[in-house]
A = this chain, B = another copy of it.
Amino acid sequence: MTTPAFLALDWGTTNLRAWVVNADGSIGANQDFALGVSKLAPGEPERRFREEVRPALGAEHLPAVLCGMIGSTLGWVEVPYLDCPVGLPELAGALHRVEGATPPAAIVPGLRAQRPHGAGPDVMRGEETQVLGWAASDPEGARGPRLVCHPGTHAKWVLVRDGLIERFVTAMTGELFDVLSKHSVLKSTPGAEDWGAFDEGLEAAGDGGALAARLFTVRSKVVGGAMPAEAARSYLSGLLVGAEVASVPALLDAKAEGPVVLIGDPVLTGLYARALDRLGTAVEVHDGEAAGLAGLKALFGQGGVA
């Protein structure tokens, strides 16, 4: 018999994903909600969680573990960043119990790490749960030093060593693609991926330097008669991903071993795998949702939330 044990939530900027996790580790009811914190007013997350999310999953009486931007200033309560290096035990020990929440709700803190060479702090909220969820599922691989990449609006390149997130660097590649495609002279409308154009973009990315100049080729190749306008969107995608994989890992200033671990949305990890493969870099790909769920389970187990 499966007994519901807790409610796991990955509550991000644009979306909320929730799962009922049973005592035997299996998954019960689960659902996506268009309740990203960027769409909610102050005070709204708590109410929507109580009035909509819990009832929809029949989870009114379960303790909950929540990760992601729900712990930011935009979320339910602001949970201070935890400074790296951080592993699952440290993360579980720092779970933030929301005051007055019944049944109990615990929010996973985001992480802060200093970039090398005095380049200042970097931050994440949500990806730590996926990365450490992967680490829990592959302790040998997470001994490292290992390079983990989580593509997305704000892509993370993470150095994992001895099962700990040691440091990381964020590249806002996804957001650049989004704002340039919507609001700039490079604007375009979504369509089927043109893999030839994507690869041409990877090629045009070169060593990843001079990005502002390479970006203009999306336009100048079209108006200069060297590329059809329909190819511009995939070319831009290839250019941005190519520039990231060629130049961002070096900012971590670390010698990693083994394949790059790609964790995230399968469409995005597919683009990054293609870009890394072109550089001769081996990868292994993991589904971000499964990794996140593994992380939330481990945190519930270690965090004593019930």
Contacts and interface: CB of A to CB of B under 8 A. Distances in A.
B209 A185 contact: no
A210 B173 contact: no
Tallying the copies of this chain within the complex gives: 2
A130 interface: no
A212 B179 contact: no
A212 B171 contact: yes
Q: How large is the interface on A (under 10, 10 to 19, 20 to 34, 35 or more residues)?
A: 35 or more
B122 A224 contact: yes
A251 interface: yes
Nearest to A208: B209
Contacts of A220: 120-123, 170
A26 B119 CA distance: 52
A224 B171 contact: no
Interface in A167-212: 169-173, 175-176, 179-180, 182-185, 204, 207-212
Contacts of A209: 207-209, 247, 250
A223 interface: yes
Contacts of A261: none
Contacts of A180: 179
Nearest to A180: B179
A155 B220 CA distance: 13
8 contacts: A121-B224, A121-B225, A172-B184, A172-B216, A175-B184, A179-B180, A179-B184, A211-B211
